[in-house]
Structure 1
Amino acid sequence: MNIADIWGEKEHILFIIQIALFIVQVLSLFFLVLYVWKTWQMASSTKESAKASEKMIEEMKEARDQESAPYVVPFININKHMMFFGIKNIGKSVAKDIKIRVKPELMSSIFGDKIHDLPLIKNGLSSLPPGHELETMFDVSHIYLNRDDFPMSYLVKISYEGGLKKELRDYEQVLDLSVYKDLIPDEDMNLKDVVKSVEDLSNYDKKISEELQKLEENVARGIWIKNPDISISYAQLDYASWKLIAASKLRELKVILERMTSKSPYFYSFDIKNRIDSIIGQILVIASNYPLEADSKIGEDLNSFAFNVLEFSRSMSFLFDRRSEGFNKELSKYILNIDDLLKILI
């Protein structure tokens, strides 16, 4: 074998080696690209997993916050014709720094513009525990719902803090009063209705009056009975008996008025108001049936006094302004009037 053959064989071997190296490099490049691609996939999967974990953690925090957060909602409640505006925390933690905005502004036939100065509406509330509510009376239902110039719906916006998140929470709700408009009748009785009721009393059967004569004499002497609304006898009485019955009813009214002046300014009972109206009705009947030998001025004085007290007992001041100094002065005036009438009768 000569040198040329040997050299040719070497070149052939080198060529084969170069081809093998090229193939190895191509395969290395392929596997490198495959490795990079797989690594990128793994990194992307890890990133997505991290995002999913973060989202899951946020959802868990949100769920925990919703479960333990305070929820303050507004309401308007109607109870025995009294309308109350209030808020209630139906959540599971304390609501803090509560602010209330009402659009349009809350209106009242009783308080007028002073309704906006109520502490709950003007200043809000510093805190409200879970399950607790706070309300304030602002009107009478059959008066408010029959006013065409009063709004029938309010948009109430409430902001407060509390719960796991240390951020301000907002809640708004529409309070619709139109649903009550035809459900609550107008029970406002005026003075004409009262006079008509008193006149109807005078049409009671005289036979019933005679049967109750003996019982009425006992009542006149100061015996209290369970049902004090038994009718006064309308048969013509002698002057002495008439004065005795009139004085008895005046004393009974005086006891009630004196009790009201000594009670707490927050004390009020519809039973007491009804009792006063009943006694006044009886005094009006007594005054209209004064004996012929009696001075007509006594009957006129009793009538005038009874109508004044009746009008006062049906005034807004009597119903909602018991805390004022003027209320007690008014009661004291009627007590003095009773003393003057008793001096005439006794």
Structure 2
Amino acid sequence: MPRRRRRPSAMAAALALALLFPAGAACARKPAADPACLAGVLKFEHRDAEAGPEKPWATETASAADWELWSGTSQLATGRTDADGTFVACGGESSYADMRLRFPSASGDLSEVVTDRTKRARHTFDSATVTDVVGRRDVGVVEVPKKMASAWHIIDTLGLLYAKRAGTSSCWTRQCERLTVVWGPAPSDDAGYFDQGGTDAVILAGDMPDSEHVVLHEAGHWFQWELYGHWLPEADNCQVHFVESRSSPTCAWVEGFPDALAAYTLGDRRFVHEDGNAVAIDPDASWDTGDAVQGRVAGALLDLWAGPDGGTWDATIALMSHERSSTFDEYFAVDRPTADPPLSTTGEAAEVVEEWGL
């Protein structure tokens, strides 16, 4: 029979309270009814490669960017900016002698930009300190220092991809891992790729973040790797590759999917280099032919998603989370029919593949 719980004696109860709250310990205080807060909007400037080779300066609000609220050496609260870059950061007391905001280059558990491959320190800066804060104090616009603003441009761009991913999960994929980008302002020849098997981070440098297509393309490698459960096919003849040129069927798949991902996320049909020059995903007589051309793979994916797949890539993303493909042909002819429900390979879908010469 079940045992009855004995009610503790008064002495036992007193002893338990003494262990929980030793002499001199203070009970947790309730937050003030009208706490002291700093409110404002976080913005950054960046060169806009998508606008063309002139790359004009553009000012953006930093959405879903982390903030920390500090007073002296004490961290009071953490949070993220809203979609319009605004924040209201509140402490637990009604007044503080000083308050300031600290902004690290991260967006919760989703993404971060770090300064190097080993230390993994985030780009970080503090706002001006505000003194004698009572109630809500509006600090206006907080600007990211120009020397590190590209880190926030990366975070903002990755937010566009996160909004496009299929599903409503708070994670990128079932792996539920953070996307890390290494970036520093100095140009480097050892950058512009996904470091699979090394840091498992996207490596960027210098002006590369000026192009959102470049950021999204490299993030697309990481995303495909995540969808495939930390696997990518061995890509032959892929050391140097171009949108319009022949490489190999495996290279065209692992490079064509990120090209399509960038175009799909940004709502266009091109790839924009960091210098502002663009290649339209629209073949002409100068393009190579066949399924070893990454631009043809990208274009076919975009047309499949826009047409027979119902105007979205959701079914392909769901398929990729369960089936690994090494080439576009394997994705189309072998894996699409096994999707649940199956994805079309006849009719309009077959016409798309034929039009793109695949």
TM-score norm. by structure 2 comes to: 0.24
Which has the higher Rg, Structure 1 or Structure 2? 1
More strand by share: 2
Q: TM-score scaled by structure 1?
A: 0.25
Of Structure 1 and Structure 2, the greater helix share is in 1
Structure ranking higher on relative contact order (CA contacts 8 Å, 6+ apart): 2
